[in-house]
Every structure is written in structure tokens, then in C-alpha cells.
Amino acid sequence: MFRFANPEYLNLLFVIPVFVVLFIFLFRRKLKLINCFVSKEIHELIIGTKSFYKEIIKFGLFTAALVLLVLALSNPQVGSKMEEVKQVGIDVYILLDVSNSMLAEDIKPNRLSKAKNEISTLIKKLQGDRIGLIIFAGEAFVQFPLTSDYSAANLFLNTVDVNSIPQQGTAIASALKLANSSFDYSNQTNKVIVVITDGEDHEGDIQTEIKTANEKNVLIYTIGMGSPTGAPIPVYDSRGNQVDFKKDNQGNTVLTRLDEQTLQEIAGKGNGKYYLSSSYQNELDLIYKDLATLEKTEFGTKKITDYDDKYYYFLIPAFLLLVVEFFLSERKSLFIDRLFRRYKIKKQKNE
């Protein structure tokens, strides 16, 4: 198998023809000016020992070296080797509330943005652990299943917003149920659920799902977003400008309040811990440090394709061509002049 590790540098090859055309234009213009101002009889006297043929050769060597350097910069890779790597860690499902109440700005920049930033930071720190994301509002969906592909996880995370689920609500029970059913219990890994929500107006039978998690030795942690005193929910126009706050049917501004009691109860019965989110602290990082004490379990092997770099196949010849170009003088050479003259005569006969 063949590939370029940095194919974007191949775009530099499009500049080479421009150099060639520019050289041809300037070279012909120089010869034309010489013939205009100096007669052929006194060329030897004016030009001396300079060889225009060698000038062409030197430019050809430089151009070839430039092409090889671009190919080396693109880092061609050939072949592949497969190696098996043991993968150990824990399985973590994050349950993220994406209801409209998560837009409240009692935590800066807002509850949802703060939660997403923490999840993104956690993903960057993971080493071997698998992470999955379930988003919920009035219902719950798997945004991405358990994976150790952290780049893909970050891409899916970036697409999450309050419009990801149109049905409003706080279906914590549905999210817990979905997480419990999404774990692969054939792997004897430690399993953890982290619920990030304001807990307001929660729906469903949470106690049953906590009991299911306990039976399967799944730990449940919770992070409370917001403040118990409440905060208004801003309303934005299509341009992202705030135009108002959300109001009820009577025209009163709606305040969304953190339900700490419910979240503390979930964490307590789920054998985990409850954390109150704040603008200056990363609660997910604290949870992950706590989870670091859990035993890491091997849950499989991963085959990794490793490509061998071959850039030096192009770099070494490029260097040699540049050395030859540097030491090649522009003095006339009897052999080269005869070679070019024969080529010129042959070309004229064919025409």
C-alpha cells in the first residue's frame, strides 16, 4: 500500500510549471536581446566562455531537485505492518442534558457550553478508556456509542446543541435506561455513568434504573448545572443576538432552577458522587481523577496499521542533484555543445 502522510504539500507541484514557463520566457528574451544588440561574429568576444546549454542543464537539475523535495516533504509511505496492542481501561457513558434550560447563563458561557467544554477536555485526556455520549431532553438518543476513537468522539460532540432533540423535557430515567442497555456486559470492564443536567422537571422512573445499574455494578456520578435560585433562559434570533428571555403563558419570565436533591439522590444510590458545577472548576476532571483509582481491565486488542516512511528515497537524490547543480560551471564544454548542436541539426532535418 502506498500513500502520502502529508498530501497537502503536493499542491506545491503546481508551482513548478510556472517556474519552467518563466525560465523559458526569460531565456528566449535574453537570447533575443543578445542577437539584437550583438552580431553573431562577435558573440565569442562578448559572451566569452559562457555556455547557454549548461544554463539549461543547471535549471533542469534545480527543477528536478525541487520536485523531489516536494515529494519528500509530502512524506511518501509504503507497505504496512500490523501489530496487536492490548487495550485496557474503563467504559464511561456521559448523559448530557440538551433541553432549553441548559441555555441559562448562570454558568458561563452557559450551562450546555460549559458541559461540552468539560467533555471535550476529558476526551483529550483519555488514554485507553472508552467513552460514549447519550443526549437527552424529552427523550434520549445515543450520540455516539462507546469508542476509543477520540477524534471522532470530539466531532460528534461538536454537533450537539439544544436543537438535537426537538421534544423538550428532562428524561433522566430514559437516558439511564439507554445507558444501562448500551454497555457490553460480556467485557468485564468497570462501567460508569456520568449524568450532566440541571435535573429540572425530570421524568420517568429513575429508581428502577438506579436499581438496574446497581445490579450490574455500574457506578453513577452526577453533575448539577446551574443554581438552586434559578436563572432566566435567553432567547436568540437567527443571527445569534439575544432578543428576550423565555416567558410562560402569562408573560412572566421563566426561571430554571437546579434540582440538587434529585441529583444527590441519584449519585448516592448509584454508588457515585455528586458535583455542583461552577464557572471556574472542571467537575468532569475531578470525576476522572476519582475513576483513575478503578482497576483498568483489558477489553480486547486493537490492530494498528503502521506505515514505513520513505521520504529519504526522494530527499537523498534531491540533495545530490543540488550538489551537482552547484558545482556545475557555466563554462563551455566541447562535449555538451556538440551534443546540443547535433540535436538541433536533427530537429531541423525532421522539420
**What are the tens digits of pLDDT across the range 133-165?**
999 999 999 999 999 889 899 999 999 999 899
Average pLDDT, the chain: 85
Give the residue-averaged pLDDT of 318-323.
Answer: 92
Q: What is the dihedral of CA 220, 225, 229, 230, to 10 degrees?
A: -130
Contact 343, 56 (CB under 8 A): no
Q: Where does 8-109 have alpha helices with state H?
A: 16-37, 43-47, 52-73
Residue 307: per-residue pLDDT? 74
Question: Which domains does the chain show, CATH number per domain?
Answer: 2-75+311-350 (no CATH), 85-227+259-303 (3.40.50.410)
* Full-model pTM: 0.63
Question: Before 166, cis peptide (omega within 30)?
Answer: no
